[in-house]
Amino acid sequence: MLYVAVIGGSACTEEESKLAHEIGADVSRRGGIIICGGGSGVMEAAAAGACEAGGTAIGILPGENTGQGNHYLSFAVATGLGEARNAIIARTADVVIAVGGEYGTLSEIALALKMDKPVIGLNSWVLKPPRDLSRAIVAAVTAAEAVEKAYSLAGKG
């Protein structure tokens, strides 16, 4: 079973929301689990896609109340850690797909790369690859391509 973190902004464009929804649904149809921050925007769209496809979405929440997560989550984990919960998201995931996002998303990308997790960027941050190219962000153009690359990079494809 593959744990796919879908990360991105709590405020997102309609296009980003659609992409995250497609990713959540596609991962769920493949039997994977969605991990997200549990809030609105990209996180909610990915969880909605998973939910509507009959899958599982786990929200790693920044606050102390599980009721603060979006209503599409299968499970909510209240951490009380604020943005530090980004490390839990990165550590839990086998692979990360970043959709859009701002500095919080960038911190999750950096944490995932530091933890040697594959990262796929979809309309997201593009960075100069580090000297070790095995830890670079892999670009994708469509939701289907992002999921395909996630499974391939995690050795499940």
Look at residue 156 in the predicted model and tell me its pLDDT. Answer: 81
pLDDT tens track for 11-58: 999 999 999 999 999 999 999 999 999 999 999 999 999 999 999 999
Exposure string for 43-72, b = 16+ CB within 10 A, e = fewer: bbbbbbbbbebebbbbbbbbbeeeeebbeb
Q: How many CB atoms are closer than 10 A to CB 84?
A: 11
Provide the residue ranges of all domains of the chain, joining segments of one domain with +: 3-153
Mean pLDDT of 61-78: 97
Mean pLDDT of 68-90: 97
* pTM tops 0.85: yes
Look at residue 134 in the predicted model and tell me its pLDDT. Answer: 56
Q: What percent of the chain has pLDDT over 70?
A: 92
User: What is the rounded radius of gyration, in angstroms, for the C-alpha atoms of the chain?
Assistant: 14
Q: What percent of the chain has pLDDT over 90?
A: 84
- 48: which 2 tokens? 């909605």
Torsion of CA 108, 140, 147, 51, to 10 degrees: 70
Confidence of residue 126 (pLDDT cuts 50, 70, 90): low
CA atoms within 13 A on the CB side of 36: 38
Confidence of residue 132 (pLDDT cuts 50, 70, 90): low
Does residue 129 register a pLDDT over 70? no
Q: How many CB atoms are closer than 10 A to CB 77?
A: 17
More confident residue, 103 or 32: 32
Report domain 3-153's class: alpha beta
